[in-house]
Amino acid sequence: MKFYNLLIKYRLWIGVILIALGIYVNYASSFWPSFPLYLIGVILVAGHFFFGPLRLIQEYMENGDMDGAEKIINSIKFPNLLYKPIRSVYFTLKGNIAMMKQDFDGAEKMMKKGLDLGMPMKEAEGASLLQMGMLSMQKNDLKQAESYIRQALRKGLPDKENEAAAYLQMCSLMMNKREFRAAKDFFRKTKALKPTTPQIVDQIKQIEKYISRIPG
């Protein structure tokens, strides 16, 4: 795995060196001895621009090193050359990093680009739509927030924690619209999933204090 990550990290320069060696062998001997060097070199250079180094981000994300992840993202100088599904992931990750920095306008712009390109899995699309909904809530655009979160639930979400977060946001939105019966229904759905994320658990406790007293 470490070897593969090193290859991804340095494949552009390895590819350039191999092409340069191919040119030398071609000049010193003939084309066919240099052909393997040309072939491998071109594959490595094309892979750098076509697939990018996004695989390297996983380790940084798992360790919570967002600065390291951002450094890898920023190393991609020509994102429009990326294979379309990978380009979608690139913009989504850019949006996530912007959201963590509370750059909500920048996050929305990047995540919209990712969604427009199409996500590789429906669950990933649902997760992005949920994040877009939460961004809209931060900007107090509640109508747009509801639209995004409903779309996220229709598309499907990757796990119960994300699903619980979506239902909890819908509960808040319904209470804001004074649609109390719907709010209670979404709250029951949230609790039924038995989420364990501390933030969601805390929000459930806060809402539980007064939701039973509201009409509907």
Q: Tens-digit pLDDT profile for the chain (216 aa)?
A: 677 788 888 999 999 999 999 999 999 999 999 999 999 999 999 999 999 998 888 778 777 788 888 999 999 999 999 999 899 989 998 998 888 888 888 998 999 999 888 876 667 889 999 999 999 998 899 999 999 999 999 999 989 999 999 999 999 999 999 999 999 999 999 999 999 999 999 999 999 888 878 776
Structure confidence at residue 185 (pLDDT): 94
Structure confidence at residue 216 (pLDDT): 62
Name the helix (H) or strand (E) containing 26: helix 2-28
The Cα 74–Cα 98 span in angstroms is: 12
To the question of domain 60-155 being in CATH 1.25.40.10, the answer is yes
Q: Which 3 state secondary structure label does DSSP give 77?
A: coil
Structure confidence at residue 124 (pLDDT): 82
The Cα 35–Cα 30 span in angstroms is: 9
Is the distance from CB of 94 to CB of 73 less than 8 angstroms?
A: yes
Structure confidence at residue 187 (pLDDT): 94
Q: Which 3 state secondary structure label does DSSP give 128?
A: helix
